[in-house]
Amino acid sequence: MSAAQEILDLFRLRALRIFAIVLLILGVGSECFLTKLSVLDPDIWWHLSVGDWIVQHRAFPHNGIFSRTAADHSWMAYSWGYEVLLSPAYDWWSFMGLGLFGTALTIAVAMAVFRMLYRISGRFWVAWALSIVAYLGFLFNIAPRPVFFTVILYTILLTQLFEAQHTGQARPLYWLPLVFLIWANVHIQFVYGLAVIGLFAGMNLLKRLAISSRVYPDYLQPSSVPVMEPFIVLACCVVAGCASPYSFHLYQHAIVISRSKVMYSMIRELQALSFAFFHQWIELLLAVTAYFALGWKKKLDPFKLALLIFASVFAFRTWRDTWFICVTAAAIIADFPSTERETPSIRLSGWATAVVASIFLLLLTLRNTDFNQRGLDHAISGEYPVDAVNFLRRNPVGGPLYNSFDWGGFLIFYMPEYPVSMDGRTDLYGDAMDQRYHATQEAEPSYLTDPILNEAGVVLLKRKLPIAQMLLTDRRFRVIYRDEIALVLARNW
């Protein structure tokens, strides 16, 4: 037996593959411990409060709870499934519960991406290497949020669509309505998935029409999936999307969100890529490689090309949607034809072994980091106005409250006695209010006539905000507290 054959056999050993999976889980989990993104995300706090509200009231909100400026505005907790899971995690283990919940969700995303790539490619090491590249491109761009459930369910969707293409049967699509039943109750980006199924069904129909009309070029991949079944599955998925507390109104709300414009200038993660960060270059590399992989094949697949273009438009438009192109591009690269396609060989017992070993190693890693109650509390206090809120509790000042936009979610959680003037639910407040609030935070001249600020009895701001510096010399207010990150002012009535 040659040395090369011996090395090849070694890499095919099941134990080595289990060890490689453990490395993926351990690497992702360790990064979660170090970054503490699970408790530093400004939106996690209002999600937690909404989950608590749903559990306590056994109902679903339909207006702007927790807000004083938009309390009567229509609003939907479209991520209620995520929020209801988050609430007991905090109730049971406090900040550690939030941290562990976010870590587990991040690892679940990592494993979902790996599983998709393994199923599509049929090659373990290709899937393993591609997974790492995809993780570098999107996994730690944003904190664990409802969008992580979208990524997990999107990997299932792509796996089923690609399998339907490979087999020429619509049977793999029959599971998708169940996927969308879950998806519509955890994140509103399930509409992305519906668009992808629509793209699949539409391109399949167009290919059949072009072939029957004898105008289908030879360099395009022929259609093998039946025409009607994908449309029937799509219709069932649309109906499944209505099986939520908000029924068909979710679709109306998705349209409202898509028409919002101001939030794209206010929130950095909603802005276009600047390529000032390493992960954005990884995203570009994956996209370019996927286009190359499509063009290199003997037959061009119109659906995959259309899907890649669709994902590129959304992902390069907003930083938050980098997952869309990274996952899509990785799937297309994994689908590159190979003569050495293998049958997945990791059994359930192997996965169980990997999970047990990973949990043991993660616990060992956890003991050697400051990812504990004290460490998380310290990290939160360095990011949010914990000391300022504690001061207000000891020295109450009459409201209403005017607060920094980025701190609204945290104040909903930590200072519920003061309804916030603004928080991260930009879909609640609308473009007009978002724009006015952003102008005031930037200390534009209009801040002098801002009615929200003018009626405030207490102001809690980030010290680095332009409006914070401007109010230091404003005779309408006096400083009652300041520290390294926060400034608290009371009105001179």
Mean pLDDT (whole number) for 183-197:
96
- Total residues belonging to the chain: 493
- Pairing outcome for strands 458-462 and 477-482: unpaired
- pLDDT for res 224: 78
- pLDDT for res 132: 97
- Least trusted range by pLDDT, from 81-95, 114-128, 255-269, 354-368: 255-269
- pLDDT for res 426: 82
The number of distinct structural domains making up the chain is 2
Structural domain contains residue 16: no
Q: Which of 80, 142, 60, 85 is nearest to 109 (CA)?
A: 142
Q: What is the pTM of this model?
A: 0.93
In the predicted structure, residue 447 carries a pLDDT above the cut 60: yes
Asked if residue 278 and residue 172 are part of one domain, the reply reads yes
State the Cα–Cα distance between residues 479 and 458, nearest whole angstrom. Answer: 10
Asked if residue 255 and residue 144 are part of one domain, the reply reads yes
Structural domain contains residue 482: yes
Structural domain contains residue 325: yes
Structural domain contains residue 59: no
State how far the alpha carbon of 422 is from the alpha carbons of 191, 229, 358, 449, in Å: 27, 46, 41, 17
Asked if residue 439 and residue 302 are part of one domain, the reply reads no
Domain residues for 261? 129-345
Mean pLDDT (whole number) for 420-441:
91
- 402 - beta bridge partners? 459
Asked if residue 321 and residue 390 are part of one domain, the reply reads no
State how far the alpha carbon of 270 is from the alpha carbons of 71, 103, 128, 247, 284, in Å: 25, 23, 30, 27, 17
Mean pLDDT (whole number) for 310-321:
89
Structural domain contains residue 110: no
pLDDT in tens, 85-125: 999 999 999 999 999 999 999 999 999 999 999 999 999 99
State the Cα–Cα distance between residues 49 and 416, nearest whole angstrom. Answer: 9
Strand, coil or helix: 73: coil
Asked if residue 282 and residue 221 are part of one domain, the reply reads yes
Q: What percent of the chain has pLDDT over 90?
A: 73
Structural domain contains residue 358: no
pLDDT in tens, 53-64: 999 999 999 999
Structural domain contains residue 227: yes
Asked if residue 341 and residue 474 are part of one domain, the reply reads no
State how far the alpha carbon of 324 is from the alpha carbons of 28, 183, 279, 312, in Å: 19, 15, 14, 8
User: In the listed set 345, 360, 375, which residue is the last one of a domain according to the structure?
Assistant: 345
Asked if residue 305 and residue 410 are part of one domain, the reply reads no
Asked if residue 285 and residue 168 are part of one domain, the reply reads yes
Asked if residue 432 and residue 303 are part of one domain, the reply reads no
State how far the alpha carbon of 169 is from the alpha carbons of 20, 225, 229, 344, 416, in Å: 33, 5, 9, 21, 54
User: In the listed set 345, 368, 399, which residue is the last one of a domain according to the structure?
Assistant: 345
Asked if residue 280 and residue 212 are part of one domain, the reply reads yes
User: In the listed set 290, 321, 345, which residue is the last one of a domain according to the structure?
Assistant: 345
Structural domain contains residue 461: yes
Asked if residue 391 and residue 300 are part of one domain, the reply reads no
Asked if residue 457 and residue 308 are part of one domain, the reply reads no
